[in-house]
């Protein structure tokens, strides 16, 4: 067996990274608009003011999706476009953009997968404390209810929050992402709890307001650990490491990038015990109904996975992280190339939580340019995707319930604090002219989709 006939091949983007039109049709500022104003925060002072101008060019972009043969498109909705004040009065022009986008996708037989929150929090809500404020969980529920009601039958698949780990740690720990704060453990754990609660309340809101067949999940990330060898003890050690909570991550006191911290509450209705033994009095106050709300039943798990680390047994019932080989392959952004992570991480997620999985992001930043012949020869991206797809196929053959794959990203786009320096797209974007060029990888992906993975 390989890919089921209903396996979904797609690509993903997010609002701030591609839309531009940062002040048009009633949209207010998001925390990323404001972050970009801060000297030194973003490479070469790039901003998302225009980005890929997808707000105006969405029809052209949908046509390109169709040319590639994408079956689904995962995009995110800009909260400050819908609610300029964060809550209250809806901005119907902003909402209309997403209605038109979805209609256009559906006319072209491309299934919309909408993410409610991919980091562009309305600035107004940040001034009220953002996710530090417990009220944020109700603001998010109101936003989720409104969007699902407005989009109605157009959208059957939602993700609530993209990468809570990055919102929490990069936004409020290292300060590399908006809102650019460097808070401590107490605040980080509080924000984490509010993100979890926001997710749970949004699931309730989506079910109450969406179409009768609406489906929902969320899209966290983490490092995808894989065994150094296929020996039983290394496989067991990998599982132990993947499910563990540790304090070690890039030398900081707190690793929000583990699997279980954010996902045990959603699927098992409780934080891992080790969170309490490690962080004790720093843990947030958990109100009586919180865990019940957080663990609302979802229809699937989305996971963004780019790389991981090999694990081996320490010979004493524990595990060890393996050192990377000298000269190990890495992408333009220096991320290691470790295809095995898309085999073992979904396998372990399914083992612990028993949920169907979508790979909601995967891909690489590559050194792409338009060659003399006018094409973009990104053979490295083809090789990368090919290797990852082979491993994903293995996982499926082993019985892991992976339902679909979304390549990151459809278009080259605004890579947060790295600005436009990094190119993740299947489609090359010339930011001066907004000309799009399908890269060789887009054509290759097109063949993979046509054959439902048989060409791999
Ligand atoms: O561009 C980001 C995306 O917004 C979230 N996941 C990782 C991608 C690459 O860094």
Whether 456 maps to a domain, the answer reads no
Is the CB–ligand 1 distance for residue 14 below 6 Å? yes
pLDDT (tens digit, 9 = 90+) per residue, 300-309? 999 999 999 9
pLDDT at 313 over 90: yes
- Residue with the smallest CA separation from ligand 1 atom 5 is 163
Query: If residue 262 lies in a helix (H) or strand (E), which one and from where to where?
Result: helix 260-268
Q: Which residue segment(s) compose the domain that 233 sits in? A: 8-451
What single-letter DSSP state applies at residue 285? P
Q: How far is the CA of 446 from the centre of ligand 1 (A)?
A: 22
Whether 392 maps to a domain, the answer reads yes
* Pairing assessment for the beta strands 215-219 and 157-162 based on DSSP bridges: parallel
pLDDT at 111 over 90: yes
- Mutate which of 416, 418, 421 to test ligand 1's pocket (most atoms within 8 Å of Cβ)? 416
Q: Which residue has the tokens 């992001």?
A: 361
Q: What is the mean pLDDT of residues 158-174?
A: 96
Rounded to a whole number of angstroms, the CA Rg of the chain reads 21
Whether 83 maps to a domain, the answer reads yes
Percent of the chain past pLDDT 90, that is, above it, reads: 96
pLDDT (tens digit, 9 = 90+) per residue, 375-408? 999 999 999 999 999 999 999 999 999 999 999 9
Beta-strand ranges (E) seen in 146-238 are 157-162, 215-219, 226-227
- Rama region for 356: left / alpha / beta (φ>0; ψ in -120 to 50; rest): beta
Token pair for 25 = 């049709």
Q: What is the mean pLDDT of the chain?
A: 96
Distances (CA, A) of 161 to 197, 301, 314, 326, 399: 11, 11, 36, 36, 27
Whether 2 maps to a domain, the answer reads no
Q: How far is the CA of 61 from the centre of ligand 1 (A)?
A: 19
Is the CB–ligand 1 distance for residue 13 below 6 Å? no
pLDDT at 372 over 60: yes
Q: How far is the CA of 232 from the centre of ligand 1 (A)?
A: 34
pLDDT at 29 over 50: yes
Whether 372 maps to a domain, the answer reads yes
Token pair for 449 = 């989709």
If we measure between CA atoms, which residue out of 52, 55, 58 comes closest to residue 110?
A: 58
Whether 265 maps to a domain, the answer reads yes
pLDDT at 254 over 80: no
Phi, psi at residue 70, to the nearest 5°? -60, 140
- Residue with the smallest CA separation from ligand 1 atom 1 is 415
Q: How far is the CA of 415 from the centre of ligand 1 (A)?
A: 7
- Supply the pLDDT for residue 246: 87
Is the CB–ligand 1 distance for residue 304 below 6 Å? yes
Is the CB–ligand 1 distance for residue 243 below 6 Å? no
Whether 3 maps to a domain, the answer reads no
Percent of the chain past pLDDT 70, that is, above it, reads: 98
Whether 1 maps to a domain, the answer reads no
Q: What is the mean pLDDT of residues 52-56?
A: 99
The total number of structural domains in the chain stands at 1
Token pair for 37 = 């104003």
Question: What ligand 1 atom has the least distance to the C-alpha of 333?
Answer: 10
Question: What ligand 1 atom has the least distance to the C-alpha of 119?
Answer: 4
- Supply the pLDDT for residue 251: 44
- Supply the pLDDT for residue 1: 53
Question: What ligand 1 atom has the least distance to the C-alpha of 424?
Answer: 9
Q: What is the CATH number of the domain that holds 401?
A: 3.20.20.80
pLDDT at 421 over 90: yes
Q: How far is the CA of 288 from the centre of ligand 1 (A)?
A: 34
C-alpha 443/C-alpha 215 separation (Å) is 31
């Amino acid at each position: 067996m390989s890919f089921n006939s209903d396996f979904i091949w797609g690509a993903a983007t997010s609002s701030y990274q591609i839309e531009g039109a940062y002040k048009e049709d009633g949209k207010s500022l998001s925390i990323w608009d404001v972050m970009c104003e801060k000297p030194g925060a973003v490479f070469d002072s790039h901003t998302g003011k225009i980005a890929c101008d997808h707000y105006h060019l969405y029809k052209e972009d949908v046509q390109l999706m169709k040319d590639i043969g994408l079956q689904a498109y995962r995009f995110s909705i800009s909260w400050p476009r819908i609610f300029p004040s964060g809550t209250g009065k809806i901005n119907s022009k902003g909402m209309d953009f997403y209605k038109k986008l979805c209609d256009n996708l559906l006319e072209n037989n491309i299934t919309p997968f909408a993410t409610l929150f991919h980091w562009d929090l309305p600035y107004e809500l940040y001034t009220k404390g953002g996710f530090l404020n417990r009220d944020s969980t109700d603001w998010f529920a109101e936003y989720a209810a409104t969007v699902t009601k407005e989009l109605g039958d157009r959208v059957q698949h939602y993700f609530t929050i993209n990468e809570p780990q990055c919102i929490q740690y990069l936004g409020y720990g290292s300060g590399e992402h908006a809102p650019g704060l460097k808070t401590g453990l107490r605040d980080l754990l509080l924000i984490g709890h509010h993100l979890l609660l926001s997710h749970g309340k949004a699931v309730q809101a989506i079910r109450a307001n969406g179409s009768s067949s609406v489906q929902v999940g969320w899209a966290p990330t983490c490092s995808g650990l894989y065994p150094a060898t296929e020996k039983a003890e290394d496989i067991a050690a990998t599982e132990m490491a993947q499910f563990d909570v540790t304090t070690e991550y890039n030398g900081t006191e707190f690793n929000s990038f583990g699997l279980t911290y954010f996902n045990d509450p959603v699927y098992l209705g409780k934080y891992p015990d080790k969170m309490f033994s490690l962080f004790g009095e720093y843990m947030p106050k958990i109100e009586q109904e919180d865990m019940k709300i957080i663990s609302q039943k979802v229809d699937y798990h989305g996971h963004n996975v780019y790389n991981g680390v090999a694990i081996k047994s320490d010979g004493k019932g524990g595990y060890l992280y393996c050192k990377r080989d000298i000269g190990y392959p890495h992408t333009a952004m220096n991320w290691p190339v470790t295809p095995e992570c898309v085999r073992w991480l979904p396998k372990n997620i399914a083992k612990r939580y028993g949920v169907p999985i979508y790979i909601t992001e995967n891909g690489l930043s590559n050194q792409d340019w338009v060659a003399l012949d006018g094409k973009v020869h990104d053979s490295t991206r083809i090789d990368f995707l090919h290797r990852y797809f082979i491993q994903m196929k293995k996982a499926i053959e082993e019985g892991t319930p992976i339902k679909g794959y979304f390549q990151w990203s459809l278009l080259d786009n605004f890579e947060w604090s790295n600005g436009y320096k990094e190119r993740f797209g299947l489609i090359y974007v010339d930011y001066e002219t907004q000309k799009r060029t399908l890269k060789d990888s887009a054509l290759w992906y097109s063949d993979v989709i046509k054959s439902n993975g048989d060409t791999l």
